[in-house]
Amino acid sequence: MAAVVAVGALALLANVGLRPASTSARFSAAISSPPSEFTGATLSPTVAPVITPSIENRFVRLDWQRVVSSRPVAYSVERTMSGGAPSSVCSVRPAGTVTNDIVSCTDGTSVADGTYSYTEMPYIDIAGSTPWSLPRSTASAPFLVPRLAHLANGSDVASVGANVVVPYPTGTRSGDVLLLVSVSGRNKSPTTPTGWSELVSRGVSGVSSAHLYVAWRVADASTSVTLDPQANGVGASTRIINYGQVNGNNTNPVIATSNIVAGTSPASTTFTSPSDIVTDASNAVVVSIVATNGATSLALSTPKGFAFRVSANTSPGSGSVSFGVADTNVAATGGPVASPTWTQSGTPQTWIHATVAFR
């Protein structure tokens, strides 16, 4: 009995001695800071936009939607030929220029007759860093680089006289295709200048009297041509349009159809050529030209792949004339090329039209 009491007393003592040390509190206080937050940059949109290729100034121009970030964004642009390995283009950092949220750059080494697909990869442009980027875009649709492409419209020469001097467009080089287009308020064919070849000379008489004359040549070192448009007091509007050789095209341009389409059509608001041109060679540029006697604005209402290039209505003399030009590139040969639909403003006038092709 005495032993049990002694053990109990020791246990009590042990408790008293140990428990305060293991559980005792100390006077204390604490305060926490608000969290400081750090967030990494992102790229928006989160999917790299697809490239749209086109031709500008003899080279392939590439356009795509801008990608934005908190830092300057550069783009790694690659092209691939069918079955080939990717190669880099547009190595400028950040690549190209931005206009209206569209990024552009030029592929300076692609060549005519080549077919390319393009991709781009946006990345945050910080020298020496592991690039923060988006996955590379899906490939653009295969793009056939044309041999000839619209390069420039020369100045309009409006005159009621004979022997007007029509300047070549700025940037013309030997080997380019030059189209001489003259619209007169008088239905009379001009004389084709030396060195030029007539393509179309069609007109209508009466109250809508007008004449469309189209000639062409491979550009030489000259800077202008003299033409008598056979105008009367109504006057004539004449200019030269350059379809320049695209980079890598060293072949002499030729007509790419055995059947130039031309004609007239009664006055109406819209017009579609009743005949489609058929090209006889691959990778040809097809040019649609329309003219009227009147101060009408001509535009494409159904392009069918044609790109609008110029519309002019002028009053060179006592009356007005107008004309429009559009074109498209046709890869394959042998089939009809669907004609675009043109529209004119104001009181409808008789249409005069022509469709030609070169390569």
Partner 1 sequence: MKRPNARFTMNLGGGLLAIAAMGTLVIGSTLALFSASETSGSNDFAAGTVTVGLGDASSIECDISGMAPGDSSKFAATGSNSLDSCTYEVKYTGSSTAWLSVDVAVATTGTNLYTAGQDGLQFYVGAGSTNIMNGTKYKTLDGTATTVNSGETVEHILIAATPATTNTTVSFGIEYLLPLLAPNALQGGNTSITLTFRAVQSANQPIGDCVAGQQCNTIIWG
DSSP at 33: P
Which residue, 148, 76, 66, 67, is CA-closest to 118? Answer: 76
Of 18, 126, 141, 332, the residue at the interface with partner 1 (CB under 8 A) is: 126
* Closer residue to partner 1, CB minimum distance, 43 or 55: 43
Tell me if 126 sits within 8 A of 283, measured CB to CB: no
Q: How far apart are CA 53 and CA 104, in angstroms?
A: 10
Of 2, 17, 20, 24, the residue at the interface with partner 1 (CB under 8 A) is: 24
3-state secondary structure of 236: strand
Give the strand pairing for 236-245 and 148-153: antiparallel
* Closer residue to partner 1, CB minimum distance, 71 or 188: 71
Per CB under 8 A, does 34 bind partner 1?
Answer: yes
Per CB under 8 A, does 39 bind partner 1?
Answer: yes
Q: How far apart are CA 92 and CA 157, in angstroms?
A: 41
Q: What is the DSSP string of 187-200?
A: --PPPPPTT-EEEE
Of 88, 100, 130, 163, the residue at the interface with partner 1 (CB under 8 A) is: 130
Strands (E), 132-175: 143-144, 148-153, 157-159, 164-167
* Closer residue to partner 1, CB minimum distance, 69 or 272: 69
Per CB under 8 A, does 25 bind partner 1?
Answer: yes
Of 5, 7, 17, 40, the residue at the interface with partner 1 (CB under 8 A) is: 40
Per CB under 8 A, does 48 bind partner 1?
Answer: no
Of 65, 87, 104, 133, the residue at the interface with partner 1 (CB under 8 A) is: 133
Per CB under 8 A, does 69 bind partner 1?
Answer: yes
Residue 191 is encoded by which pair of tokens?
């004389």
Of 57, 70, 170, 224, the residue at the interface with partner 1 (CB under 8 A) is: 70
Which residue, 97, 49, 43, 91, is CA-closest to 70? Answer: 43
Of 97, 109, 129, 301, the residue at the interface with partner 1 (CB under 8 A) is: 129
Of 17, 20, 83, 128, the residue at the interface with partner 1 (CB under 8 A) is: 128
Total residues interacting with partner 1, rule: CB under 8 A? 31
Number of Cβ within a 10 Å radius of residue 222: 13
Smallest gap from residue 134 Cβ to partner 1 (A): 9
Per CB under 8 A, does 13 bind partner 1?
Answer: no
Q: Residue 53, preceding bond cis, omega within 30 degrees?
A: no
Per CB under 8 A, does 31 bind partner 1?
Answer: yes
Per CB under 8 A, does 334 bind partner 1?
Answer: no
3-state secondary structure of 56: strand
Residue 297 is encoded by which pair of tokens?
């604005």
Smallest gap from residue 139 Cβ to partner 1 (A): 21
Interface contacts to partner 1, rule CB under 8 A: 24-43, 69-71, 124, 126, 128-133
